[in-house]
Each structure stands twice: as C-alpha cells, then as structure tokens.
Amino acid sequence: MRKVLSFAIAVAVLTSCGITDDLYYWGGEQSGTTAYENLAYQSSHKQTPKSLCNLVAVYEDMVTNPGGTRQVPPPGICAEYGYLLLQPQTAETFLNNATSAQKRLFQSDDYSALFLERGKEMLQKEIEFYPESAKFIEPLIKKLAR
C-alpha cells in the first residue's frame, strides 16, 4: 500500500511539472523574452516612431487575439494600450511611420478618430476584464474627458 501511495504521489508531482500553459499571451517570444517586454522597454527607454508603431501593433495583437489559459488580455494591457492610443502624438506618429502591415490592423485611415474611440474602449475593457482596476481607471477616464 505504501509503495502504491508513493508511486501515485511521484506521478502527480512529475506530471504537474510538465504543465506549461501560460495564463496570458504576451505577444510571442523574441530572444528569450516576450515581444511586449522588448517593445515596452524600448518604448520607455528610447522611444522612436518605429518602436511606437511596433508597440501599437503588439498591443493590438494582444487584445484582439488573447491567448493563454484565460483567453483575455493580461492585466493592465488594455489600460496601457488605451492610454497610449489617447496620447495626442500617437495617431500622427502611426500615420506617418507605420508599415503597411501595421496599418492593415485597423480598418480606417482616420487614425485620430479611430485611436480616440479605441483608446476609450480599451480603458472600459480593462474595467470589464479586471473590475478591481475601476478604482484607477475611472478617474483617468474622467480626467481624459475634460
């Protein structure tokens, strides 16, 4: 009996170690880190028009094609993406510097109006997916509405 119990525990421990499903999708792997990690760092460290366009494309991929076990964007991503889209220079930078593949992610050429609408939508999605974020996102929405 003791051998059977020991064997069952060993099997349970070893099989649980093999589970590698990620809870969230972070934009694919690049050199051992995720695309999101690389681009977010690049964007905050030394932002260029190209890095901004790449970051918008990665965010769009993360929110429209969520992977992982939960099948929703990771916590904070919708808020970060929404805030980025609502920045005044983002639409113009994207219009002037995005590749044709990046521009095809959106079904419009009026990026100012599209990014304004999409930015507000993303802030609301953050609250929808993570209700505990309302305490932080709702004041931001009110401030941006002014």
Confirm if 47 and 92 have CB atoms less than 8 A apart. Answer: no
> Which residue range forms the structural domain that includes residue 85?
2-145
pLDDT given at position 46: 80
Q: How far is CA 55 from CA 10, 101, 104, in A?
A: 44, 13, 15
pLDDT given at position 15: 53
Structure confidence at residue 19 as a pLDDT band (50, 70, 90)? very low
pLDDT digits (tens, 9 = 90+) for 31-84: 666 666 666 666 666 888 998 999 999 999 989 988 878 888 989 999 999 999
Is pLDDT at 28 greater than 80 in this prediction? no
pLDDT given at position 35: 67
More confident residue, 27 or 6: 27
Total structural domains in the chain? 1
Token readout for 86 is: 């609502």
Rounded to an integer, the average pLDDT of 109-116 is 92
Confirm if 39 and 51 have CB atoms less than 8 A apart. Answer: yes
Rounded to an integer, the average pLDDT of 5-25 is 56
pLDDT given at position 146: 73
CA distance 83 to 88: 10
pLDDT digits (tens, 9 = 90+) for 86-96: 998 999 999 99
84-111 per-residue burial string, b: 16 or more CB within 10 A, e: under 16? bbbeeebbebbeeebeeebeeebeeeeb
Rounded to an integer, the average pLDDT of 15-41 is 62
pTM of this prediction?
A: 0.76
